């Protein structure tokens, strides 16, 4: 059975990193952007990281510019923004594509394990759904991620156990992470 540990990604300096380095940890894998309405998610993500990393928790941050060009900077510019504005300390990897023919294989895998099932109900979600449909039309059947700040929770064995869309309350994300850490 394939797990996230079977994938290799690139760090900000362009070096290969095997995700097997994170074996035995609970992971939250996130595609991010610095100019998105959900960019403030960095704050609760960093708080969760500071509180829980000592218990075997890691956040893996993958910037992507595929959603309305909301992450246009270089890897260094994105990293500088995140560390200066939000004090992020969790690992941030090289900017990637998460949809289409050039989608990083990790995100194709994550989405195949936990496919998109909608942004939820309410006006905010309906508006996001409209923009996401327009943006993602070009990716067709290779649309794996609906929008920035989609989060995948991975257990200590490397299995994808939950998917959280950006519209989900960060308190619910944290509760799921804490429940997994307490198993």
Residues in contact with 91: Cβ distance below 8 Å, sequence separation at least 6, in sequence order: 11, 58, 59, 60, 61
CA 51 – CA 63 distance, rounded (Å): 23
Query: What residues are annotated to the active site?
Result: 36
Total domain count for the chain? 1
Name the DSSP class of 70. -
Residue range 159-173: average pLDDT? 96
Q: Tell me, what CATH number does 148's domain have?
A: 3.40.30.10
Residues in contact with 117: Cβ distance below 8 Å, sequence separation at least 6, in sequence order: 163
CA 96 – CA 75 distance, rounded (Å): 10
Model pTM? 0.94
- For residue 13, report the phi and psi dihedrals to the nearest 5 degrees: -90, 0
Range of the domain at 104: 4-181
CA 114 – CA 132 distance, rounded (Å): 18
Per-residue pLDDT reduced to its tens digit, 69-120: 889 889 999 999 999 899 999 999 999 999 999 999 999 999 999 998 888 8
Q: Is 162 helix (H, G, I), strand (E, B) or coil?
A: strand
Quote the percentage of the chain above a pLDDT of 70.
Answer: 100
């Amino acid at each position: 059975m394939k797990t996230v540990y079977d994938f290799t990604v690139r760090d900000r300096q362009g070096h290969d990193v095997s995700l097997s380095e994170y074996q035995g940890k609970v992971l939250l894998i996130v595609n991010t952007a610095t100019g998105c309405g959900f960019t403030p998610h960095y704050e609760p993500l960093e708080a969760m990281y500071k509180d829980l990393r000592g218990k075997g928790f890691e956040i893996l941050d993958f910037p992507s510019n595929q959603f309305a060009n909301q992450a246009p900077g270089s890897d260094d510019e994105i990293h500088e923004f995140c560390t200066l504005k939000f004090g992020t300390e969790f690992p941030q990897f090289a900017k990637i594509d998460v949809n289409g023919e050039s989608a990083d294989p990790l995100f194709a895998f994550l989405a195949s394990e936990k496919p998109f099932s909608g942004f939820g109900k309410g006006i905010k979600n309906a508006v996001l759904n409209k923009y996401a449909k327009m943006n993602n039309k070009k990716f067709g059947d290779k649309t794996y991620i609906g929008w920035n700040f989609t989060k995948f929770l991975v257990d200590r064995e490397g299995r994808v156990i939950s998917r959280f869309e950006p519209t989900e309350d960060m308190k619910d994300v944290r509760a799921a992470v804490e429940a997994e850490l307490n198993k």
